[in-house]
A and B are shown apart, each in its own frame.
Chain A
Amino acid sequence: MSGHHISTDKTLLGVAGALLVLTVLTVVVHYLHLPNPWSIIVAMAVAVAKASLVALFFMNLYWDERFNLMLFLASIAFLALLVGFTLLDTLFRPEVIPGF
């Protein structure tokens, strides 16, 4: 719990390497053309993993004050609210776009 965590070269390069591997992995999976729901699930899972790595180790959330982590998660939660409630409308309309 310190705002001044000093990362070692090993950590930084290791994280960057992992990000690189995940990027290659997600492109390779794309060319495999997985059956329908799975391609988006894998692509998003990889993206979430990459984003978490950046947030935790490049942005130091792993060592930082917990409140900053909470802010980050809260912003995602409220984004989920925006998306979720909007979908509650758009997915359940009788017609996609209401006529006038």
Chain B
Amino acid sequence: MANHSTSTHSQFFQHHFVDAEQQFDAAKMGMWVFLVTEILFFGGLFAAYIVYRLWYPELFVMASEELNTLWGGVNTIVLIGSSLTVAMAIKSAQLNQKRNIAINLGITIALAAIFMVIKYFEWTHKFHLGIFPGEFYAFDGIDHPKANVFFSLYYLMTGLHGIHVVIGIGLMVWLLLRSMKGHFDSEYYTPVEITGLYWHLVDIIWIFLFPLFYLID
């Protein structure tokens, strides 16, 4: 190996890069390219949503009455808060405040967990009413033959989003453990940065899901 002069001190520097800057840039661009795939992954469901909403606008108005705007709003604020703390964690890493990285990540995990708990109660409440997706739909409060389609979309989109939140929690726990070992500092914080990007995208998707399901009139 040729000896590199600058910023290769980190134990996490990989041999096939020329310097740490290239490693950071590559990781970040890789994450962005991955986020493109995430947007199109959700995009299929958004497309289905738009098609059905334009076909049956009255159904969407009626069915969204069953969703609780208050708890949807609370969840939106919870996720915005978690996005803030992730951004704060990255900033702490950049400023070498190692303790603050862990604190901010901890708050993020807590907020994400709150989001999932609220989601859990929303779903179970609907299950009690007999609102199941697709062919198991057994609720007669909505006078529309296609009501099951709305709730299929609802469960699929919030469910897929929920899976992403759970994956995000897993990643945050991993980051928290590493940050407590002191792995991250202003020279090396790539995993915090790119996990943050992922988390913000999960937030953005919820920002659209909230008005699309809870705020129809």
Contact = CB atoms under 8 A, between A and B. Distances in A.
A71 B33 contact: yes
Given A55-B204, A67-B29, 10 more contacts: A4-B24, A20-B80, A23-B73, A51-B208, A68-B32, A71-B33, A75-B43, A78-B40, A79-B46, A82-B40
B99 to A, nearest CB: 16
B108 interface: no
A44 B208 CA distance: 8
A44 B211 contact: yes
Given A6-B91, A82-B44, A75 B83 contact: no
A71 B16 CA distance: 25
Contacts, number: 126
Contacts of A16: 80-81, 83-84
Nearest to A19: B80
A21 to B, nearest CB: 11
The 4 closest A-B pairs by CB, nearest first: A43-B211, A75-B36, A79-B43, A75-B39
Contact of A68 (B28, B40, B44): B28
B87 interface: yes
